[in-house]
Amino acid sequence: MRQFFFFVFLLFLISCEQGAKKDTNAASRPEYVLLIHGGAGYGTRADMSPEREKAYHDILECVLDTGSAILSRGGSSLDAVEAAIRIMENSPMFNAGKGAVFTEQGCNELDASIMDGRDLNAGAVAGVRSIRNPISAAREVMTGSKHVLLIGEGAEKFAAAQGIEMVDPSYFYTERRWRSLQRIRKKQEESYREKSGKFSTVGAVALDQQGNLAAGTSTGGMTNKMAGRVGDSPVIGAGTYADNETCAVSATGHGEYFIRHVVAYDISALMKYKGWGLEKAANHVINKKLKSRKAGGGVIALDNNGMMAATFNTTSMIRAWVTSDGEKKIFLYEE
Ligand code: ASP
């Protein structure tokens, strides 16, 4: 009998402990979080001029302020993700939207995707040449069509019909990206991976006050890519994933490897089926699986308790975040 009472007492203690854990999590969870990236592989501080460094700081700060203004007034994580990515797409400093890299044929073909962690709803566009903000077109695919991924002309026609801003393809011409293409063309002997050099895709993940996660990614792809090549960024599960039960992920890196390893979903699946924490899951996929294949890149990821991970196996990844606790950080290098 004494043993029975001891057993009941033990159960009582365990349930108190679990309750306390839950409460601590709920209490310590920030009301909202926005985490963004501007691509992986910029090199070290020595590779960037102080002017360029300041310009990155300024724009990233503007992205964080815009996103936190949305989230602090109770706006959705989807709105914050879209707004954050639009600002980076409008800047020539990132390989997305205005600053997109060139294909081997000297065109710009853009990819983007967005995902809602509430219901796994998702939208994406690939290979588009005249949509100013592909992330907004991706969101329209999610909410205004019965499909997940639209490509090329079909995606453009759909976006135009939805009132998305269209531009002449020449809008995406930037001298800097054109010169990168010429440099790569001259070094024909280098492998595709070496040629691609840097990854400066953009992405955002957010947790809103309602506890909903969202993720989005936008890119011009990889310099000198074949016409029609699509990377991981618009592929749900590879470059972007969000599930309220686990996490939101946006990736940057050598897309072919991120597709083969289903990177963003793999991180979510490790959490769901193995019970791993966010950091452990992201680290395993980026620093073990991808690294063993010599595949460069990284992810930003956010779990449903507001825990963040920014994990990369390249020399650096531009990343920044803001939380309802007043934390605001910007990192351009490894640090
Ligand atoms: N992941 C992108 C792609 O392969 C490139 C990047 O991250 O910069 O298209």
Q: Residue 331: which residues within 8 A CB-CB, separation 6 or more? A: 310, 317, 318, 319, 320
- Residue among 254, 263, 314 whose CB has most ligand 1 atoms within 8 A, to mutate: 254
5 and 61 Cβ atoms separated by less than 8 Å: no
Listed residue (214, 216, 249, 203) closest to 76, CA to CA: 214
φ/ψ of 105, rounded to 5, equals -90, 5
Residue 201 Cβ < 6 Å to ligand 1: yes
pLDDT of residue 239: 98
pLDDT of residue 199: 80
- Residue among 219, 230, 314 whose CB has most ligand 1 atoms within 8 A, to mutate: 219
Q: Would the pLDDT of 198 be above 90?
A: no
Residue 233 Cβ < 6 Å to ligand 1: yes
Point out the catalytic residue in the list 103, 201, 246, 311: 201
Is residue 335 very low, low, confident or very high in pLDDT (cuts 50, 70, 90)?
A: low
Q: What mean pLDDT comes out for the span 70-87?
A: 98
Is residue 74 very low, low, confident or very high in pLDDT (cuts 50, 70, 90)?
A: very high
Annotated catalytic residue 217: no
Q: Would the pLDDT of 191 be above 50?
A: no
Q: Would the pLDDT of 123 be above 80?
A: yes
pLDDT of residue 333: 82
Q: Residue 311: which residues within 8 A CB-CB, separation 6 or more? A: 279, 282, 283, 286, 287, 298, 299, 301
pLDDT of residue 155: 98
**Cα-to-centroid distance, 267 and ligand 1 (Å):** 18
- Residue among 229, 252, 263 whose CB has most ligand 1 atoms within 8 A, to mutate: 252
Residue 221 Cβ < 6 Å to ligand 1: yes
Of 75-84, 162-171, 188-197, 322-331, the range with the lowest mean pLDDT is 188-197
Of 27-36, 204-213, 269-278, the range with the lowest mean pLDDT is 27-36
pLDDT of residue 2: 57
Q: What mean pLDDT comes out for the span 75-96?
A: 98
Of 157-171, 179-193, 219-233, the range with the lowest mean pLDDT is 179-193
Listed residue (215, 177, 11, 1) closest to 95, CA to CA: 177
Listed residue (252, 293, 246) closest to 266, CA to CA: 246
What structural domains and CATH numbers belong to the chain? 31-331 (3.60.20.30)
Residue 203 Cβ < 6 Å to ligand 1: no
Is residue 272 very low, low, confident or very high in pLDDT (cuts 50, 70, 90)?
A: very high
- Structure token pair of residue 2: 């004494």
140 and 124 Cβ atoms separated by less than 8 Å: no
Residue 219 Cβ < 6 Å to ligand 1: yes
Q: Which residue has the higher pLDDT, 183 or 12?
A: 183
Residue 250 Cβ < 6 Å to ligand 1: no
**Cα-to-centroid distance, 233 and ligand 1 (Å):** 6
**Cα-to-centroid distance, 271 and ligand 1 (Å):** 24
pLDDT of residue 18: 37
Portion of the chain with pLDDT greater than 90, in percent: 83
**Cα-to-centroid distance, 199 and ligand 1 (Å):** 6
Of 195-199, 220-224, 282-286, the range with the lowest mean pLDDT is 195-199
**Cα-to-centroid distance, 79 and ligand 1 (Å):** 23
pLDDT of residue 27: 60
pLDDT of residue 210: 98
Q: Would the pLDDT of 49 be above 80?
A: yes
Is residue 187 very low, low, confident or very high in pLDDT (cuts 50, 70, 90)?
A: confident
Q: Whose CA is nearest to atom 9 of ligand 1?
A: 221
Of 191-200, 239-248, 255-264, 269-278, the range with the lowest mean pLDDT is 191-200
- CA 297 to ligand 1: nearest atom: 7
pLDDT 10s digits, 127-178: 999 999 999 999 999 999 999 999 999 999 999 999 999 999 999 999 999 9
Is residue 334 very low, low, confident or very high in pLDDT (cuts 50, 70, 90)?
A: confident
Q: Would the pLDDT of 21 be above 70?
A: no
**Cα-to-centroid distance, 238 and ligand 1 (Å):** 11
90-122 exposure pattern, b = at least 16 Cβ within 10 A, e = fewer: bbebbbbbbbbbbbeeeebbbbbbbbbbbeeeb
pLDDT 10s digits, 283-299: 999 999 999 999 999 99
300 and 241 Cβ atoms separated by less than 8 Å: no
- CA 41 to ligand 1: nearest atom: 8
Residue 255 Cβ < 6 Å to ligand 1: yes
